[in-house]
Structure 1
Amino acid sequence: MYTLLCMLALTDIATPTFVVSKMMGIFWFNLKGITMAGCLTQMFFLHMVSVMHSAILVTVAFDRYVAICNPLRYLTILTNTRIAKLGLVGLIRAVLFILPLPLLLSRQPFCANRITHTQCEYIAVAKMVCGDITVTRIYGLALMFVINRFDLTLIALSYGLIIKIILRISSKNAHQKALNTCTAHICVMLTYYTPSLFSNLTHPFSQGIAPHIRIILADLCLLIPTMLNPIIYGVKTKELHDKVGKYTCCRR
C-alpha cells in the first residue's frame, strides 16, 4: 500500500511541476515564449504522467480487492517485486500510448506562433496546425476513450467483486472496515476522473466561454486533484495521520 502511495505522490508532484513552473515564468518573469520542441516535450510528459496516474489507480483497486477478498494471502500476492512490475508496465503503457501524439504533431505545419494557454495541452496545440490532422485527432479521441474506459472497467470489476464478497458477510463491523479500506481510493478516483472527463467532454462545446475562463478551468482540473490527494490519504491513513500529528506536535 505504501509503495502505491509513493507512486501516487510522485505523479502528484510531477503534474504541477510541468504546469506551475510555466505559469510562474509567465506571471513573474514575463517568459511567455517557448520553442515548439519544448512545447511538445511538455505535452508528452504532462499527458504521460496523467495516463500513469490512471494506471496506478487501477493497481490500487486491485490492491484493495486482494486486501478485502484474500487478506491472508495479501503479502504473498502483492510482493514488492510484483508491485514494481505493475508500476513498470503502467509506465511503459503511458509512454507507448502518448509518444505518437507529439511525433504526429511535430510533422505538421503550424499557422499560429502563439498558444493561448499556460500549458501545452494536446487540444490547444492541435488548434495551431494548418494541415490535415484527421489521423492525429482520431488517435487522440480513441486514446482518451480507450484508456478511460479500459481503466474504469477494471476498477469497476474490482469493486464489483469486493461488493460481492461484502454482501456475503453478515458482520456490520466487517462491512464498516471494508468501507473504510476503500473510501480513500474512491475519493481519489472521483477527484481524478471527474475533472478529466468534464474537461474533455466540455472542451468542444466551450466556444462561447471566455478564453481566460477556459484556461483557468483547465489548470484547476490538473491542480485540484494533486492538492486533494495528499489530504485524502493523510486523513484516511492512520499511520500517515499519526506521523503528521507527531511531527507537528514536536515542532510546536
Structure 2
Amino acid sequence: MSEAVLTSAENGVLTITINRPEAKNAVNRAVAEGVAAAIEALESDDSLTIGIITGAGGTFCSGMDLKAFLQGELPVVSGKGFAGFVEAPPAKPLIAAVDGYALAGGMEVAIACDLVVANKDAKFGIPEVKRGLAAGAGALLRLPRLIPQRYAMELALTGDFIGAERAAEIGFVNRVVDGSALDGAKELAATIAANGPLAVKASKEVIAKTEDWSHDEMWAEQQKIIGGIFTSEDAREGAAAFAQKRKPEWKGR
C-alpha cells in the first residue's frame, strides 16, 4: 500500500490515515488508490467491524491536490470515485476523525462517512463556488440528506466555513471533542465494534437505503436485510451472553 495512506488494525477497528501532511493531506492519485485498497481490506477482513479515516499532521483533508490535477492527474478510482471511495462507500461503518480542516473534497470525504467526530477547533466547508467550481464529489447530492436543506444550500452557495460546534448543531457532526479527534473516534468505534458485526452491518444498510423505499415496501425491504440475523449464531450468542452475564464472543455468522 502507498505511503500516502497508512493503515493499522486493532480490536476490530481499521484506522486509515491520509499521510500527506506537507500537502495538508490533499488527495492525489496515490491517496485515492491507497484509500481504495484500505477500504477493500476493511470489507474483506471478517475480524474488522468498522473503519476510521483521518489525516496526519493535524489536518483532516484539504481536498483535491490542485498541483497534481494541473499535471493531468485525477484523484479518483474507476467505479469508486474521488478519494477511492466516495461513490462506493463500504458496507461496514466508517467514521471520519476530523482535526483541523475538512474542506472541499475533504469535507466530501467526511460526508461519505457514516459518522463524524471532530476536534472543537475543526473547520468544515465546500468553498468550490469561490473558485467558480461546484462540489461534485458528493456534497451537493448527499449533504441535503444529512442536514436540513436550507443549511446545505447556504454552505454550497456561500462557500463559507463553519466550525465543529456549528456543524454539530445542524446535525453533521456526531461528537465534538477537546482533544484528538482520532482518540474520540476510536472511543466511538470501540463501542460499535463491541456489538454483533452482522447486526452492525445490516443496521447501516437499512438506514442507508430507507429513504429510497416507499411506505408500502419498507417493511418487506428491511426484512430482506435483517431477517437472517435473527437466526444467526451471533443472535443466539448475544442472548446467551446476556443471560449468563458475560461478554459475547461474536462469530460473524
TM-score with structure 2 setting the length: 0.27
Judging by fraction of residues, say which structure has more strand: 2
Judging by fraction of residues, say which structure has more helix: 1
TM-score with structure 1 setting the length: 0.27
Higher relative contact order (CA 8 A, sep 6+): 1
